[in-house]
Structures are given as structure tokens and as C-alpha cells.
């Protein structure tokens, strides 16, 4: 395959970042915007070309018989730790990578376009585009990584671009602390990933994905450790769980999810790009990338399933009670990613030929589209009413028809209503879960129902409910074309994406899988659940009434806890501020100043005290000296005399 396109896909965004970052301040907003959009547009076209080439050219590099192959386009040495461990920088093309290229460049392009309208007149417009380019570069680098270390490198870069973009409004303290929180929480997770990579690389003398996942390789690792276990898990299990920890951080799985809702402090296009469609699915991508290894250790997969299922339910419950529309979407994102995680966790070759994997990737794709749509829609709303809370909205359907209809499509897609894209992917995921165990199937169906409920709660509260009196002073209207166009296109994609024959393109082992919808066992029940949930939401929120308050009063404790996100932030606050900062750090600093430094100073003080004491003898009084001298001389002479006589 020609090297030019893959290299350009990475080179254009980073070049854009450098140009806009270094010279942006000297450019006009318009020029910077056009440069950014053009750059991303070109990248998108290139990525489409590459993906199209990969899937449909029939090139023998990419497909042999019916099996899709992994192809390393280029791979150059970047750093050589030791003769065994070499970090390369390369471009690995395989089905999930090609799909991610499409997703990232598409969303990124639309976000670039959308931002031109959304960020208009903002100070730091050029900086915003620079950071967007940096993010796109890092994310593309992450998905094309040929080895886990390259992935880790871009993983970190993605984290930093996320930090920079969340903290884009750096003058507001809340944005600053949100960005800090996001970075530190994900860094903590990355620590787990790093340790996992350390463990893995010690037993497997390579970072390369193809070699890592080659048949027989994991068994070799297990053999090399001599069956050693630690707390009941083999070395490989631990390595995989630790690596998954990194994914938990980026994908906001349960104990490490707290940064994502706060990350909504960033500009809305950023939320759409990073915190909904692309970066947060990196964890899913990571597990998918190393899936053959995970298959070796079902314990690790069970762990993923468990974390994912808990997170999905938790986030869905919390989303039902939030006021800030972006936070509702954030929790919805958490919940949906958890869906993908569960789906990956239950994927087994023996259950529907590893359907879970395909379903997870499918949902990743469709979710990226409709969640970006929802976020961009939310951005349009915020742009119109200048507030994030639904209390400032209500009855907007008449004022903003485009936003209304696209948002509705997004809601239908995420709720899983036929024939919108969400239905298809969710259906596949649920069938994989039912195939694995009925318990998780029912559980996740319930979560899917909750999803439909909270999304329509949001929809009704924004567009129906009661018309907000403020509109008389400030009449909201639809966004400019740069913002509406992406909405319309993404809505269109969300309508039709379900009909893509995804199973033919992406499966865990490259062999095609023919999607068939299990209407009776899975689809009808889940569809019914969704419809019931939507009807419930309609009853409660279509017109202003007191039902929601009554509903909240049924379980006031639960409602309050969910409203406070089950106090996770408070717990973290307690641990970080009260324990780590006030107890550990302060006491160490005190120890250093007073004990360690005190000891060193004490040496000096003792020396000084001794000198002062001795100094008294050197009184400076000649008379005293004479006296001592004389007495000494007398004593000496006396001794001498006594000896002689």
C-alpha cells in the first residue's frame, strides 16, 4: 500500500497544530478557522480513501479469502529500550482501525465546521482550532498504533489535549479545576495501564500488537511465568486487568468516572468530539485491540463485564435526575460506553461467533454519530439560551425547528427505536448478552429502558414542558448554517447507519458475520421496554405538571443520592483533599521541614552551641589568661620540683 496517505493522515493534523499554535495569534479568526477546517476536511477525505481501500479494494494485503487481515503500513524504530524491547512508531491497518479513522475524521470535521459558528468571536479562537488539531492527531495516532507503547504515548497525548480543551475557558475557575480533575483521574488510570504494560512487556518480549495477539503467544507467556499467580489471578490476568484500568479511566468506568461530567465545562463542540464520540471510547478500542489476549483470560473479561454493567446502570440512574443537559448527556455517554464494555466482556468465540465484539464496535460507530449529534444539538440550544440547565429551556420546539427535529432523531436512535441506527447496534449487543447469560441480558435491557426514559425526559423538558418566560426578552432561534449543517448530516447518518452490513466488515477474527435480528427473543422485548419508557416520559414531562415531583417523593433518599451522583465526588474530595493533601502531603512536608531539616539544622546548632560555650574561655581578659598561665606554670613547676626533689 502507498505510504503517502497514511503518513498524511497523521501529518496534516500535527502540522495544523504547529502552524495554528505557533502563528495563530498573528492570523485572523477567519483564516485560522478555514485552515483548520480545510486541514481536517483533507484528512477526512484521505481517511475515507484509506478505509474504502481497506474494506472494498479486495487487495490481497487486506483480505485473504473472506478473512480480513491486519496490515502494518509502516513501522519505524522510535526508541530502543533493549534489544528485546523496541518502541516503534507505525501505522497498523485493520478493520477496527479503518472504522475508527472514519469515525474520528468525520466527527472531527463536523466539529471543526460547527465550531466556526459556535466559537465565533471567542478570544482564543485560533488556539481552539490548534488544540482540536492536536487532539485529532493524537486520536488518529492512538487508533493506528502498531504497538501498545505507541498507543500509550498517544493515549497520554489525547489526555493532554483533552485537558487543554476542557480548560479552554481558562479564566473560569470551574473549568480549570475540571480540566485538572480530568487529567489527574485519567493519569491515575494510565498508571495502571503503564504497570500493566510493564508486566506484559516483561513476560512478552515485544510491544507489537500483531505479535502480542499472535496465536500461541499468550500461552507462551503463561508458560514462562510457570503458572505463577497473585491473589488468584495469573500474571496475564493481572496485566490485562491493569491495562484495562487505563481504559476505565479514559472511558469513565465506575470508580474513575468522576471526571467526565465535570469535563462538560469545556466548550460544547469539544464535549461532542472528545467526551462523547472519540476519546472516551478509547478504552473500548483498547480492549478490542487486545481482544485475543483477553480471550485467554476469561477472568479479565468477566471483570470488564462486571464493571461495565454496574457503570451502565449507575450512569443511567444518575442521568434521570440531572438538571444540566450536558451532564445528562455525559452520564448517558458513560452508560453507553459501559454498554460497549459489557458487550466486549461477554464476547466469546463460542457464543454467536464472538458477536459481542462486533456489536460493541457497531455500537461504538453508531453511538459516535448520534451522541455527537445530541451534543452538537445541545450546543445549539446553549448557544441560543446561554444556559446549560433545562430550567432555562422548555417549549423550544417552535423556536428552533432544525435543532428540535435532529435532537429528536438522536433521542430515538439512542433509545433504540427501529429503524434508527441505535436499534440495530443495541439489538446485537443485547443478543450477545443474552447469549452469555440471561441475567446480564435482562439487566442491560433494563438499562436500555432507562436510557430511553431519561433521553425523552430531557427531550420533553427542553422542547415541550412549559415555555420559558425569558423568551419574550430574548427570542431563541436556530443556529447559523455552520452549526445546522453538521446536525442535519449527522441526523441523516443516524437514520441510516443501522443498515450498514457491519458484521461483514468488522469481527473479532476477521471472518465475516451475517447479522440477523432476533426479533422474538431480543428485539421485541427491548423495543417494548423502550416504548414503555418513552410513554412514561411522555406522561410525566410533556406538559408542565407535578408528576415528576411526586415520582421523586416516592424514594426521596434514592432521588437525592442519584441527584448527587451517589456522592462519588464527595468521596473523592474527602480522599484527595482530606486524606492525601491534608494528612499525607502536609505531614510529609512537615516531617521534611522539622525532622529531616531539623536534624541537619541541629548538627549546625550543636556545633554552634559548643563553640559559644568554648568561646567563654577565650574571654579576652589578659588578667584571666595570666592567672591561668601562672597557675599552669606553677603546677608544672611544682610537678618538676617534686620529681627532682
Partner 1 sequence: MILQNILIWFVIIPLIMLAGLALCKKMTQIRTVMVVCSVALLAIAGWLCVDFLAQRAAGNTAEMLYTGNWMWYAPLNIKLSVGVDGISVLMLMLSAVIVFAGTIASWKISPLPRNFFLWFALLSMGVFGFFITIDIFTMFMFYEVALIPMYLLIGVWGTGRKEYSAMKLTLMLMGGSAFLMLGLLGIYWHSGPSADGAAHTWNILEIAHNGAIEKGWQYFLFPMTFVGFGVLGAMFPFHTWSPDGHACAPTAVSMLHAGVLMKLGGYGCFRIAIYLLPQAANDLAWIFIILTGISIVYGAFSACVQTDLKYINAYSSVSHCGMVLFAILMLNTTAMTGAIMQMLSHGLMTALFFALIGMIYGRTHTRDIRKMGGLMQIMPYLGVCYMIAGFASLGLPGLSGFVAEMTIFFGSFQNADLFHRIFVIAATCSIVITAVYILRVVGKLLLGPVFDDHHRQLTDATWWERLSTITLIVCIAAIGCFPNWINETIQHSFLPIIENLKAAI
Partner 2 sequence: MNLTMLMYLIPSLIMFACGVYGFITRKNLIAILISLELMLNSVDLNFVIFNRFLFPGQLEGMFFTLFAIGIAAAETALAIAIVINIYRSIKKIDVSEITKMKF
Partner 3 sequence: MESIGNIILYFVVAVIIAVFSAMAVTTRKILRAATYLLFVLLGTAVVYFQLGYEFLGAVQIAVYAGGILVLFVFSILLTQHPADPASVLANHRKFVGGLAAVCAVALLGVAVCKFPLIDGMSLTEAVSIGDLNMKQIGHFLLSSEKFGYLLPFEAISVLLLACIIGGIAIARNK
Rounded Cα distance between 319 and 327, Å, is 7
Please tell me whether residue 153 binds partner 1 under the rule CB under 8 A.
yes
Per-residue HEC secondary structure of 4-49 comes to: HHHHHHHHHHHHHHHHHHHHHHHCCHHHHHHHHHHHHHHHHHHHHH
Cα 346–Cα 256–Cα 371 angle in degrees, nearest 5: 70
Segment (H or E) for 332: helix 325-345
The region of 155-163, 210-218, 316-324, 614-622 touching partner 1 under the rule CB under 8 A is: 155-163
Size of interface with partner 2, in residues (CB under 8 A): 10
How far, CA to CA in Å, does 202 sit from each of 196, 197, 206, 286, 420? 10, 8, 9, 20, 46
Task: Name which of 528 and 630 has its Cβ closer to partner 3.
Answer: 630
| Minimum distance from residue 617 beta carbon to partner 3 (Å) | 16
634 binds, among partner 1, partner 2, partner 3, none (CB under 5 to 8 A by kind): partner 3
The region of 156-164, 279-287, 405-413, 469-477 touching partner 1 under the rule CB under 8 A is: 156-164
Cα radius of gyration (the chain):
31
Task: Name which of 499 and 629 has its Cβ closer to partner 2.
Answer: 629
59 binds, among partner 2, partner 1, partner 3, none (CB under 5 to 8 A by kind): none
Q: In terms of Cα–Cα distance, which of 236, 237, 335, 345 is closest to 288?
A: 345
Task: Name which of 575 and 635 has its Cβ closer to partner 3.
Answer: 635
Task: Name which of 419 and 632 has its Cβ closer to partner 3.
Answer: 632
Residue 468 has phi, psi (to 5 degrees) of: -75, 130
Task: Name which of 298 and 627 has its Cβ closer to partner 3.
Answer: 627
- Cβ atoms of 397 and 511 within 8 Å: the answer is no
Subset of residues 9 to 68 that bind partner 2, contact rule: CB under 8 A: none
- Cβ atoms of 257 and 331 within 8 Å: the answer is no
Spell 256-268 as b/e; 16+ CB within 10 A means b. Answer: bbbbbbbbbbbbb
| Minimum distance from residue 187 beta carbon to partner 2 (Å) | 57
645 binds, among partner 3, partner 1, partner 2, none (CB under 5 to 8 A by kind): partner 3
Work out whether the CA dihedral 107, 109, 113, 119 comes out positive or negative: positive
| Minimum distance from residue 172 beta carbon to partner 1 (Å) | 8
Segment (H or E) for 427: helix 421-436
Subset of residues 565 to 604 that bind partner 1, contact rule: CB under 8 A: 580-581, 584-586, 588-589, 592, 596-597, 599-601, 604
Among 160, 351, 408, 485, binds partner 1 (CB under 8 A): 160
The region of 1-9, 43-51, 174-182, 253-261 touching partner 1 under the rule CB under 8 A is: 174-182
Among 5, 63, 191, 310, binds partner 1 (CB under 8 A): 191
Exposed, middle or buried: residue 43 (CB in 10 Å: 0-12, 13-18, 19+)?
buried
Task: Name which of 608 and 619 has its Cβ closer to partner 2.
Answer: 619
Sequence length of the chain is 645
DSSP states along 483-520: HHHHHHHHHHHHHHGGGS-HHHH--TTS--------II
- Cβ atoms of 116 and 33 within 8 Å: the answer is yes
Subset of residues 424 to 453 that bind partner 1, contact rule: CB under 8 A: none
Task: Name which of 198 and 532 has its Cβ closer to partner 1.
Answer: 198
Subset of residues 579 to 638 that bind partner 2, contact rule: CB under 8 A: 615, 618-623, 626-627, 630
Please tell me whether residue 499 binds partner 1 under the rule CB under 8 A.
no
Task: Name which of 30 and 593 has its Cβ closer to partner 1.
Answer: 593
* Assigned C-alpha cell, 624: 584571666
- Cβ atoms of 266 and 163 within 8 Å: the answer is no
335 binds, among partner 1, partner 2, partner 3, none (CB under 5 to 8 A by kind): none
Rounded Cα distance between 162 and 311, Å, is 22
| Minimum distance from residue 640 beta carbon to partner 3 (Å) | 9
* Assigned C-alpha cell, 10: 497523521
Task: Name which of 156 and 324 has its Cβ closer to partner 1.
Answer: 156
Task: Name which of 258 and 338 has its Cβ closer to partner 1.
Answer: 258
Interface with partner 1 (CB under 8 A): 77-82, 85, 149, 153-154, 156-157, 160, 163, 167, 170-173, 176-177, 180, 183-184, 187-188, 191, 194-195, 198-199, 201-202, 580-581, 584-586, 588-589, 592, 596-597, 599-601, 604
Interface with partner 2 (CB under 8 A): 615, 618-623, 626-627, 630
Amino acid at each position: 500500500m502507498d505510504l503517502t496517505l497514511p503518513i498524511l493522515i497523521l501529518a496534516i493534523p500535527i502540522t495544523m497544530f504547529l502552524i495554528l499554535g505557533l502563528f495563530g495569534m498573528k492570523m485572523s479568526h477567519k483564516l485560522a478557522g478555514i485552515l483548520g477546517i480545510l486541514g481536517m476536511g483533507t484528512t477526512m477525505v484521505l481517511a475515507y480513501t484509506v478505509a474504502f481501500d481497506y474494506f472494498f479494494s479486495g487487495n490481497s494485503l487486506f483480505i485473504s479469502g473472506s478473512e480480513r487481515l491486519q496490515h502494518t503500513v509502516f513501522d519505524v524504530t522510535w526508541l530502543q529500550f533493549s534489544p528485546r524491547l523496541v518502541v516503534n512508531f507505525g501505522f497498523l491497518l485493520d478493520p477496527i482501525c479503518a472504522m475508527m479513522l472514519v469515525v474520528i475524521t468525520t466527527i472531527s470535521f463536523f466539529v471543526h465546521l460547527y465550531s466556526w459558528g459556535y466559537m465565533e468571536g471567542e478570544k482564543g479562537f485560533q488556539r481552539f482550532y490548534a488544540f482540536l488539531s492536536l487532539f485529532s492527531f493524537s486520536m488518529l495516532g492512538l487508533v493506528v498504533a502498531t504497538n501498545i507503547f505507541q498507543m500509550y504515548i498517544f493515549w497520554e497525548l489525547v489526555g493532554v489535549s483533552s485537558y487543554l480543551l476542557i480548560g479552554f475557558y481558562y479564566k473560569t475557575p470551574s473549568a480549570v479545576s475540571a480540566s485538572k480533575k480530568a487529567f489527574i483521574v485519567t493519569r491515575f488510570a494510565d498508571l495502571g495501564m503503564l504497570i500493566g504494560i510493564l508486566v506484559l512487556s516483561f513476560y512478552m518480549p515485544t510491544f507489537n500488537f500483531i505479535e502480542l495477539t499472535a496465536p500461541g503467544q499468550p500461552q507462551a507467556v503463561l508458560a514462562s511465568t510457570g503458572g505463577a499467580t497473585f491473589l488468584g489471578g495469573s500474571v496475564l490476568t493481572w496485566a490485562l486487568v491493569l491495562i484495562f484500568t487505563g481504559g476505565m479511566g479514559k472511558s469513565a468506568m465506575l470508580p474513575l468516572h468522576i471526571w467526565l461530567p465535570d469535563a462538560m465545562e469545556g466548550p460544547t463542540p469539544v464535549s461532542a468530539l472528545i467526551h462523547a464520540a472519540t476519546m472516551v471510547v478509547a478504552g473500548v478500542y483498547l480492549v478490542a485491540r487486545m481482544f485475543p489476549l483477553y480471550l485467554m483470560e476469561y477472568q479479565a473479561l468477566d471483570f470488564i463485564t462486571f464493571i461495565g454493567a454496574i457503570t451502565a446502570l449507575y450512569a443511567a440512574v444518575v442521568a434521570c435526575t440531572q438538571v444540566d443537559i450536558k451532564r445528562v448527556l455525559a452520564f448517558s455517554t458513560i452508560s453507553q460506553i459501559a454498554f460497549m464494555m459489557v458487550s466486549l466482556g461477554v464476547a466469546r468465540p463460542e457464543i454467536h461467533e464472538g458477536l459481542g465484539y462486533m456489536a460493541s464496535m457497531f455500537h461504538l460507530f453508531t453511538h459516535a454519530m448520534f451522541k455527537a449529534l445530541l451534543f452538537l444539538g445541545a450546543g445549539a440550544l446553549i448557544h441560543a439560551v446561554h444556559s446549560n440547565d433545562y430550567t432555562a429551556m422548555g417549549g423550544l420546539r417552535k423556536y428552533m425547528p432544525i435543532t428540535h427535529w435532529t435532537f429528536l432523531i438522536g433521542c430515538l436512535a439512542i433509545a433504540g427505536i427501529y429503524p434508527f441506527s441505535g436499534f440495530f447496534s443495541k439489538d446485537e449487543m443485547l443478543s450477545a448478552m443474552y447469549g452469555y447469560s440471561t441475567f446480564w441480558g435482562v439487566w442491560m435491557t433494563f438499562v436500555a429502558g432507562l436510557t430511553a426514559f431519561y433521553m425523552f425526559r430531557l427531550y420533553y423538558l427542553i422542547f415541550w414542558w412549559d415555555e420559558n418566560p425569558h423568551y419574550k426578552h430574548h427570542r431563541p432561534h436556530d443556529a447559523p448554517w455552520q452549526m445546522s449543517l453538521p446536525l442535519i448530516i449527522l441526523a441523516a447518518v443516524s437514520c441510516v447507519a443501522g443498515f450498514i452490513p457491519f458484521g461483514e466488515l468488522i469481527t473479532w477474527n476477521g471472518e465475516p458475520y451475517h447479522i440477523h435480528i432476533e426479533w422474538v427473543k431480543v428485539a421485541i422485548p427491548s423495543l417494548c421496554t423502550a416504548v414503555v419508557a418513552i410513554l412514561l416520559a411522555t406522561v410525566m414531562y410533556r406538559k408542565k405538571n407535578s408528576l415528576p415531583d411526586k415520582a421523586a417523593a416516592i424514594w426521596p433518599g434514592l432521588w437525592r443520592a442519584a441527584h448527587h451522583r451517589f456522592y462519588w465526588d464527595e468521596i473523592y474530595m474527602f480522599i484527595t483533599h482530606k486524606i492525601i493533601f491534608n494528612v499525607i502531603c502536609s505531614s510529609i512536608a512537615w516531617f521534611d521541614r522539622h525532622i529531616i531539616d531539623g536534624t541537619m539544622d541541629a548538627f549546625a546548632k550543636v556545633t554552634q552551641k559548643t563553640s559559644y560555650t568554648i568561646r567563654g574561655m577565650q574571654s579576652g581578659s589578659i588578667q584571666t589568661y595570666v592567672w591561668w598561665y601562672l597557675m599552669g606554670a606553677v603546677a608544672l613547676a611544682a610537678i618538676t620540683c617534686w620529681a627532682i626533689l
